[in-house]
Structure 1
C-alpha cells in the first residue's frame, strides 16, 4: 500500500480527483499477489491516514528519547517521505490558490476590457452613421443636367 501511494501520490491529485486516484490505487494494490487485505478505496485511504497518523505519533515519541539509535524500516522511510511531501503540498496550496485567483481575475478583466472595446466600436459606428445622415447632401437637379 505504501509503495503504491508513494508512486501515485493521490494526496496531490487535483480538486475532485483525489478519490479517483484512490480508486486507481485500490485496483493496483488488489492486483498484488501478496496483498491480502481486500478493501474499497475509502478503506485504503482510511488505512493510509491511520498509518500516517501512527507514524507521526511514533516520531514525536521517538524524538523525546534523544540519544537512542533508531532502526528505520522501509515503511518508516516511505511514511516519512510521504508525510514530508504532503506537508510541502499543503504549504504550497495557498500559493496555488492565489495563482488561480489571479488568473481568474485577469480573465474576467480581459473580458470586461473586450466588452468595453466592443461597445466603444459600436458607439463609434453609431456616431459615424448619425454624422453621415446629417452630412448627406441632397441631390440637386438642374435643368442643365437633364
Structure 2
C-alpha cells in the first residue's frame, strides 16, 4: 500500500487533477477499474462513438499496463510457489534429521540396557554382579542414573541444535525472499506510476 500512496500523491500533485481525498486505496481501486474496464470494453462501439483516436491512445497505454501487471502477477505466483517448495524441502530435511537423531537415541538406550543385562561376552558374570552391587548401593545407582541422564541430555541437545539450525536457515531464506519481493514490488510500482502518469498526461492533452 506504500507504493499506491506514492502513486496517489503523484497523481494528486498534477494541476489538472481536481479530485479531493485521492488516497492510496482510491488509486488502487481506480487502477483496478481501469484495467477491468479495458478488458471488457467493446472496441467497435467505442470507435462508432466518434472517439476512436482518443480511445486508441488510451487503449495502448492500458494494454501496456495490463501486460506489465499480468507479468508481475505471474512472477509473484511463481515466487510464492518457490518459497512453498523451499519450505517443504527444509521441513523434509528437518523431519529426516529428527528421525535419525531419535533412532540414534533409541539405539543408545537399547545398547546400554543389553550391556547392563548380559554384560557381553566373558565379562557377563562380573558385570551382572557389578550391576547388582550398584542396585544395592544407593550411591552407585545414583551415579549410573546420572550417566544415563547425561547421555539422554546430550542426544536431546543435538536434536535441538539441529532443529535450531533448520529454523535459522528457514528464517534467512524467508528474509531474503521477502527482501527480493519488496524490491520487485517497488520496481513494479515505479513502472506503474510512470505509465499512469503518461496516461494521465496523454488524456489531458487530448481534451
Shared fold (TM-score, shorter chain, > 0.5): yes
Aligned-pair CA distance for 1:81 = 1.2
Q: Distance in 2 between matches of 1:45 and 1:36?
A: 18
Q: Distance in 1 between matches of 2:93 and 2:76?
A: 26
The C-alpha deviation readout for 1:101-141, integer Å capped at 9, x for no partner, is 322322222222122111111112112221332326346xx
Aligned-pair CA distance for 1:45 = 1.3
Give the length in aligned residue pairs.
115
**Residues 78-93 of structure 1: pairs in structure 2 closer than 5 A:** 78-91=61-74
> Which residue among 104, 122, 125 is the counterpart of 1:121?
104
The TM-score with structure 1 as length reference comes to 0.56
Q: Distance in 2 between matches of 1:76 and 1:61?
A: 9
Q: Which has the higher contact order (CA 8 A, sep 6+)?
A: 2
Aligned-pair CA distance for 1:24 = 3.9
Q: Distance in 2 between matches of 1:109 and 1:63?
A: 57
Q: Check if 1:25 corresponds to 2:25.
A: no
For structure 1, list consecutive stretches of 5 or more residues without a partner in the other structure.
Answer: 1-18, 140-146
The TM-score with structure 2 as length reference comes to 0.43
> Any idea what SS the aligned residue of 1:118 has?
helix
For structure 2, list consecutive stretches of 5 or more residues without a partner in the other structure.
Answer: 120-125, 131-207
Distance change >3 Å, CA 33–CA 62, structure 1 → 2: same
* Equivalent position of 1:102 in the other structure: 85
Cα root mean square deviation, aligned: 3.4
Moved segments of 4+, more than 6 Å = none
